[in-house]
Amino acid sequence: MNRASPAAAYQRQISTAKRNAILDAALECFLARGFAGTSLARIARAADVSTATLYRHFPSKDELFAQIIERPFLGESPDASTDWPGGRPAQTLPAIAHQYARRILTPYFHPLVRALIAEALRAPEMGHALEERGHGPFLAAVREYFAREDTLGSLSVVDPGLAAEQFLGMISAVVFWPRMLNDARRPSDAKIARTCEEAAKTVLARYAPPTVPGC
């Protein structure tokens, strides 16, 4: 088996560290000055890297912003995994609900979405960033989960896409949208937990597989 040399491994480590420094600096700049008020040169200075180094990692400001948006959904922790086990929806659906709630409660997520919405008024294509790079892939994973459960017979889901939207919608209605209007309206941990559990119960009741008469 070929293994990378220590020098190559060190270079990758340095590259990853610089990329993370750029993302962290960009987040602070976007939150402080908004998308339009932040330049790549300013971000490079804040990250203590050259503009050329920044461009090697991120070809445009739009791409840099999009990668910040997707960070809560693509973290390296096991919590970010969407490889959910099949055949056990009573256990898996509450876990998915709690995972989604944690993602959308990432401290910087709400102000970034506000900045994105404001920018979308000027550049409508930016409005697709959240759907395509953040919430969208997670929604697609939940849709695929429902489709698999229907195939297994654990749930009966005619329209997996609608089921996924309903499921996540019940959570975001309590956890996400009120806070979009007022940062102080973060629900309590108890309310978040209850919301997730009740959303899972609602889906289980609605999409329970049909029972066989006489059984």
The CATH number of whichever domain residue 18 belongs to comes to 1.10.10.60
Q: Is the CB of residue 117 less than 8 Å from the CB of residue 129?
A: no
Q: What is the pLDDT of residue 215?
A: 46
Stated pTM of the model = 0.79
The answer on 115 and 147 residing in a single domain is: yes
Instruction: Please check whether residue 64 lies inside any domain of the structure.
Output: no
Chain position carrying tokens 């339009």: 36
The answer on 97 and 26 residing in a single domain is: no
Of the two residues 37 and 91, the one the predictor is more confident about is 91
Q: What is the pLDDT of residue 200?
A: 98
- Give per-residue pLDDT as tens, 139-174: 999 999 999 999 999 999 999 999 999 999 999 999
For residue 177, give both structure tokens: 């949208």
The answer on 34 and 123 residing in a single domain is: no
Compute the distance between CA of residue 125 and CA of residue 121 in angstroms, rounded to an integer. Answer: 9
The answer on 152 and 51 residing in a single domain is: no
Angle, helix 61-70 to helix 40-47, in steps of 10 degrees? 60
The per-type count for the chain, helices as H runs and strands as E runs, is: 11, 0
Domain that holds residue 78: 72-206
Q: What is the pLDDT of residue 147?
A: 98
Q: Is the CB of residue 149 less than 8 Å from the CB of residue 157?
A: yes
Q: What is the pLDDT of residue 132?
A: 76
Burial of residue 146 (CB within 10 Å: 0-12, 13-18, 19+) is buried
- Give per-residue pLDDT as tens, 11-48: 788 888 999 999 999 989 988 888 888 999 999 999 99
For residue 34, give the DSSP letter.
T
Q: Structurally, how many domains does the chain consist of?
A: 2
Range 98-118 average pLDDT: 84
Query: Highest mean pLDDT: which of 63-77, 115-129, 165-179?
Result: 165-179
Q: Which of 103, 102, 38, 32 is closest to 64 using CA atoms?
A: 38
Say if residue 184's pLDDT is above 80.
no
The answer on 163 and 136 residing in a single domain is: yes
Compute the distance between CA of residue 127 and CA of residue 62 in angstroms, rounded to an integer. Answer: 11
